[in-house]
Structure 1
Amino acid sequence: MNLILTVLEIVAPVGLLGLAGFVWVRAGFEYRMEFITRLCMTLSVPALVFTSLMQTEIDPAALSALSLAAALAYGALTLAFWGMTRALGMDRRTYLSPLIFGNTGNVGLPLALFAFGEIGLGYAIVVFAVMILWSFTFGLWVVAGGGSPARLLKEPIMGATLLGALFLWNGWQTPLWLTHSLELLGQIAIPLMLLTLGVAVARLNARHLGRALWLSLLRAAVCLGAALGAGLLIGLPPVALAVLILQVTTPVAVTSYMMAEKYGADADAVAGLVIASTLLSVITLPLTLAFLI
């Protein structure tokens, strides 16, 4: 009973804020997705990433090990899903990126924070940064048929990650007035991302949910195996391993739908994956958390 209550305490804030965004849009109220997304990705999330890395008490060597494990996990997912899409004759531009990249920002960061505290958030941000790096290089190349590494350098999230890692490695701290300002800005990131997730799901128009459901089930199993295998191979400590598994097994990212829409892939198919994997995560994420904690 205590375990069930603990898992509910972790999952409930994520579900309720996502539900609030869903109901808000369904009730006919305005929600400017483009503005909120730009606000989060340009200001609040970079501030959260920088301050979390700067203030984390995680040993830099442990962060390096987690970065390597995350890179191995996403590399394994890339190979596995590349082979699967080829074997099944699936359109790689449509399906490969959604199968690889989970919602490590909107879902993974708050879950890691609620489940494992500030140290969990620090670990989760490392995995998030690795995913962003691979998503905006290889992922963009797959969906768009070409991408430039220079695009990644223009993303404020990556600048904040590199700067935060530099401060962490050298033990530097910003002046207290600046730290408090950045912390205040970063605090709006998680609730806004969760509300936006609910809004995005409410606005998606999915077809062929049957195929999306079995693909989501298969994806969940492959992601769990890749994260667990990479973490054990590197020898991650328990909390770092738990966060890696949690992040890699998050449902399909809403940004995958946005990229498919922008670059002319089958956006409806990707929307189906987003909805099916998100609904499935209502079951899989609590089970995963119950196992991890």
Structure 2
Amino acid sequence: MIFTVLNITAPVFFLAAIGFVWVKLGFEYRVQFVTRLTMTLSVPCLIFVALMKTDIDPEALAALSLASLVAYLVVMAACFVLVKIAKLDTRTFLAPLAFGNTGNLGLPLALFAFGEVGFGYAVVVFAVMAILSFTIGVWIVSGGGSLKRVIQEPLVGATLLGALFLWQGWHTPQVITNTLELIGQMAIPLMLVTLGVAVARLETKAMTQAVWLSAIKVVICVGAAWGAAAWFGLDPIAAAVLIVQIATPVAVTSYLLAEKYGADAQPVAGLVVASTLLSVIYLPLILAFVI
């Protein structure tokens, strides 16, 4: 199982290394432009298509959605307490600690570990995370303000529309689906290269802090997911997927959101790198326990 995780995480580091080397060689990289392109266009397309193309039983969908919502609310509350105890900036640290990389790490991991059924469950957890992350999460990172500004975020609209298509079983015409899918394919490579650019300027202090925060995040997430799965009586595969998805490391989108809304993006980049490195160790352990 460790090789499965390595096969998924290794490309993450290879693409980030490209951004790292690019900056070290002195080449120009406009983070603001790339961030706007990915967060306004490619990531919304990626989310919408992923949600629209999944297939899951309505009863299982309802139970897993509620369990995911409860688990994430518990995680957010626990991380808020952690941030306050550690005297850290809520705007910078809360959302990255609460929301994991359920998309480009959690989805393929669920597919390889649990097959098509597990992948369908994983998309549901991803949808709940995306709705919370791109509404409450964006509101936190942006420093509050008008909720209208959050609702107008393209990511929010894409997530809600994708959830509606998932619920109703609708599909766009194939030519539109192919176009949206192609645009969405830009997202992950661009996000990872941008992460490498950020790491090239990362301070050692940020990495030291990121390691212990990432370790505590794992404990909080696994505990919350296990409790929610037991409370809602999820079947073994759904429970396992929920635990793995919520325990995924900090997402690259957290760094891009910090850049976009003017939060301190460097510590967030440190969290992404540290938590992803740790995931190579703890995700196989979690999978060995839940399978």
Please indicate the TM-score interval, normalised by the length of the shorter structure. 0.7 to 0.9
Picking from 192, 202, 205, the partner of 2:200 is 202
| AA of the residue aligned to 2:67 | A
Contact 1:207 1:272 (8 Å CA) reproduced: no
The one-letter code of the counterpart of 1:154 is: Q
Q: Which runs of 5+ in 2 are unaligned?
A: none
Equivalent of residue 35 in structure 1, options 25, 33, 36: 33
Deviates more, 1:82-91 or 1:46-55: 82-91
How far does residue 226 in structure 1 lie from its aligned partner after superposition? 1.1
1:235 alignment counterpart: 233
Bigger Cα displacement from structure 2, 214-223 vs 149-158: 149-158
Alpha-carbon offset, residue 228 of structure 1: 1.9
Paired residues in the alignment total 291
2:20 corresponds in structure 1 to 22
- The Cα of 1:75 is off from its aligned counterpart by 1.0
1:177 to 175, 195, 207: 175
Q: Which residue of 2 aligns with 1:190?
A: 188
**How does 1:29-178 map onto structure 2 within 5 Å?**
29-112=27-110, 115=113, 120=118, 122-178=120-176
Residues in 2 aligned to 1:115 and 1:14: alpha-carbon distance in whole angstroms: 19
Query: Structure 1 pair 175/195, CA: closer, same or farther in 2 (3 Å)?
Result: same
TM-score by length of 1: 0.79
- CA deviation after TM superposition for structure 1 residue 179, in Å: 2.1
Q: Assess, with a 3 A threshold, how the Cα gap between structure 1 residues 289 and 42 changes in structure 2: closer, same or farther.
A: farther
Residue 72 of structure 1, CA deviation: 0.9
Range with greater deviation from structure 2 (135-144 or 70-79): 135-144
The sequence identity of aligned pairs, in percent, is 63
Distance 1:73 1:114 in 2: 23
* Distance in structure 1 (CA, Å) of the matches to 2:254 and 2:224: 20
C-alpha distance in 1 between matches for 2:126 and 2:51: 12
* Secondary structure of the corresponding residue to residue 205 of structure 2: coil
Query: How large is the Cα RMSD of the aligned pairs?
Result: 3.3
Pairing of 1:5-16 with structure 2 (within 5 A):
5-16=3-14
**Range with bigger deviation, 185-194 or 256-265:** 256-265
* 2-structure distance, mates of 1:130, 1:101: 10
TM-fit CA distance, 1:113: 5.2
Give 5+ residue unaligned stretches, structure 1. none
Q: How far apart are 1:68 and its partner, in Å?
A: 1.5
Q: Distance in 2 between matches of 1:273 and 1:131?
A: 18
Q: What amino acid sits opposite 2:232 in the alignment?
A: I
The answer to whether the 8 A contact 2:54-2:123 is kept is no
* Contact 2:42/2:183 (<8 A) preserved: yes
| Aligned-partner Cα distance in 1 for 2:258–2:117 | 34
